[in-house]
Structure formats: C-alpha cells, structure tokens
Amino acid sequence: MKKRNKWIYWIATIWLSLGMLSTGIVQLLNRKEEMEFMLDLGYPIYFLVILGAWKILGVVAILLPRFPLLKEWAYAGFFFMMSGAALSHLAMDNLDEIFPSLLLLVLTIVSWYFRPASRKVIISSDHKENIAG
C-alpha cells in the first residue's frame, strides 16, 4: 500500500510539474496566442507574467526536498489558480478549453493527497492543544 501511494504521488507530481512548468514558460514568453487567450477570458495581459512566474516557483517548491510549509502554499496556489482557470472558462462558455485546467487541478489534488510524510507540515501535540483550547 505504501509503495503504491509513493508511485501515485510521483506520477501525479511529475505530470503536474511538467504541466505547470510548460504553461508557466509559455505565459512568461507573452506569445500572441496567449495574450489573445487572456483577453478573451477578460483578464489583463500582465496576468500572464504573474501566473507564469508563480507556476515556475511553485514547481520548484514542490520538487525541492524539505520546506513542507512552502509546499503547502504552492499546492494552495496551484489549486486556486487551476480552479479559477476552470471557472473562468466555464463563465465564458469556453468549455472546449477547460480540460487542461481541470487536469492540472486533479493532479494538484492527487499529488497533495498522496505526498509522503516528509513533505507534510507536522503539527506538534502542543500546538494542537493551543489551537483546540
């Protein structure tokens, strides 16, 4: 069971990283097609640079060993970015373009869920008591 979970984690994480890295690079290049795509969705062009940079930094955070809190932030950012992208396509009746966003959203969730304990934020029992009471 543990070995299966490790395989699921790494397959999802590699595909997620490749997807985020490739789209991040394309967004940073400010290609004409990408600019038109953003404008069609109703967003300003400068969002491409912001999204592209955060995607690349998020991939680095997820792949680097240690830094579990930074990984949580990266996963949260990917979740909000991809769910926002999917909802943007849905709102603009652009359903033929929704699949990549949904795929990356699912890969984000699967990678986060199956991540090994060494990549999770550990909350000590003292901290749990402080939160609860």
Domain boundaries, the chain: 2-132
Give the pLDDT score at 132. 42
| CA neighbor of 57 nearest in space, from 41, 40, 75, 34 | 75
Task: Calculate what percentage of the chain has a pLDDT beyond 90.
Answer: 68
CA distances from residue 42 to 33, 35, 85, 95, 117 in whole angstroms, order as listed:
14, 11, 12, 15, 40
pLDDT (mean) for 29-45:
89
Give the pLDDT score at 121. 87
pLDDT surpasses 60 at 1: no
The end-to-end CA distance of the chain, in Å, is 36
Cα(41)–Cα(37) distance, integer angstroms: 6
Give the pLDDT score at 81. 96
Task: Calculate what percentage of the chain has a pLDDT beyond 70.
Answer: 92
Residue 36 burial (CB count, 10 A): 11
For residue range 42-79, list pLDDT tens digits in order: 899 999 999 999 999 999 999 998 899 999 999 999 99
| Banded pLDDT at 126 (limits 50, 70, 90) | low
Task: Decide if 47 contacts 38 (C-beta within 8 A).
Answer: yes
